[in-house]
Chain A
């Protein structure tokens, strides 16, 4: 390609970018039933691109149900399905790499606000699955380059992008030899704006599932952190020992908040060992009735208060923090 690199977009173009972004985001967060013919058309196009026959499509109501079927299919080692998934990934990967290498695509549209990756990540990682409408963020990026910035891609790449756009009209899917396990979109998607701003979003629901599917499979998330169902639906039924056992600092923080921090500290029999200020922020070292010590601390930028387990022998906040950092905290010059 010999096109000149675009350095900026006009205000009118930015307005159009934002409008199209909203449309694509709606597609990504859709809770309508999948457009099955369109999804199947896109995937069939990929199979044909690999020189394979049109596959059969097996639809399920959720990724959980689809995963069971996919696991059964994966047990058949004669299918060579790993190779197929690798090839499908190559169709995406190679296409994107080549398109991205076209200088014209490296435009000011790089400021494209894409919230969906956070949604994808917060549901965890499942090998071999393609995320349907949730990958529209990268498809849309290139389509908007073409639509608004008038970037011209090779016909082959444009066709590939259309195939991927077709797959964005459904839920997760997993290709196998001759068979594709497809899943429906969720029936509930609850998100909120992320503190990052600029259009970023994250999963959040404090009164029910953040994601729910027709067959009852659910994902619970609070401010982008995936949590146990009980943390949302019945946080007051936790016990102090259960909270102590929560290994994830964010999940523990959320559960303590929802359980009631005052109640938690009282039921845990917590007493203050030390209270000081570091980096301009107060912090406290407390010991509970199991002799476990916790550093109650914030960081100066997230407005969060964490309860971090620290050594029983720490006598001060400084000793406790140095112990979990692995070095003398006096060396820290900045924090956030």
Chain B
């Protein structure tokens, strides 16, 4: 056991909890300067910056980026984002990674992905984003929250 794992599980939990309660920050995460290949995490949802040519499907009316009716699934691509069906995993992803929608914003325009609890993420100027989801290793399904 290394020095850093000499803490018991409860001590390790306390360290995480203290950080959660003291070092939180609801400021908008500004992803406008990120480049293709970079990724933003918002809870159990991942936003991959992809090239403009990245394949996607038909336009969706629904702006919610995670399936479900729960509070946790309310990752919303706010206008003026355009949301499309996702068709293709970014090539950095393992096979079997859960695929979400694709969205993009217009050149010169900013848009936010909002959530009832997580800090919002700001995208802009024609950025294209492919969404993927976290996997629950017990159910082997998309993490549900």
* B9, CB-defined interface residue at 8 Å: yes
Contacts of A265 in B (CB 8 A): 9-10, 13
Q: How far is the CA of A271 from the CA of B93 in the complex (A)?
A: 30
A-B contact count (CB 8 A): 203
Contacts of A333 in B (CB 8 A): 31, 34, 38-40
* B56, CB-defined interface residue at 8 Å: no
Contacts of A281 in B (CB 8 A): 16, 19-20, 23
Q: How many chain A residues have a CB neighbour from B under 8 Å? A: 63
Interface membership of chain A positions 250-261, coded 1 if the CB is closer than 8 angstroms to chain B and 0 otherwise = 100000000001
Select one of A122, A280, A284, A334 contacting B121, CB under 8 A.
A334
A325 and B10 within 8 A (CB): no
Contacts of A194 in B (CB 8 A): 116-117
Q: How far is the CA of A146 from the CA of B120 in the complex (A)?
A: 32
Contacts of A111 in B (CB 8 A): none
Select one of B19, B97, B116, B138 contacting A309, CB under 8 A.
B138
Taking CB atoms and an 8 Å cut-off, the chain B residues in 2-36 that contact chain A are 4-13, 15-17, 19-21, 23-26, 29-31, 34
Give the B-binding residues of A (Cβ under 8 A): 118, 121-122, 124-125, 194-196, 200, 202, 224-226, 244, 247-250, 261-262, 265-266, 270-276, 279-284, 286, 292, 296-305, 308-311, 323-328, 331-336
- The 7 A-B pairs with the shortest beta carbon distances in the complex, nearest first, are A326-B97, A336-B119, A284-B12, A298-B20, A270-B9, A335-B41, A301-B119
Q: List 14 extra interface pairs beyond A249-B72, A333-B39, CB under 8 A.
A: A195-B116, A225-B72, A244-B138, A247-B138, A247-B141, A262-B10, A297-B16, A302-B43, A303-B24, A305-B16, A326-B134, A327-B94, A327-B132, A336-B29
Give the A-binding residues of B (Cβ under 8 A): 4-13, 15-17, 19-21, 23-26, 29-31, 34, 37-44, 46, 69-72, 74, 90, 92-94, 96-98, 116-121, 132, 134-139, 141, 143-145
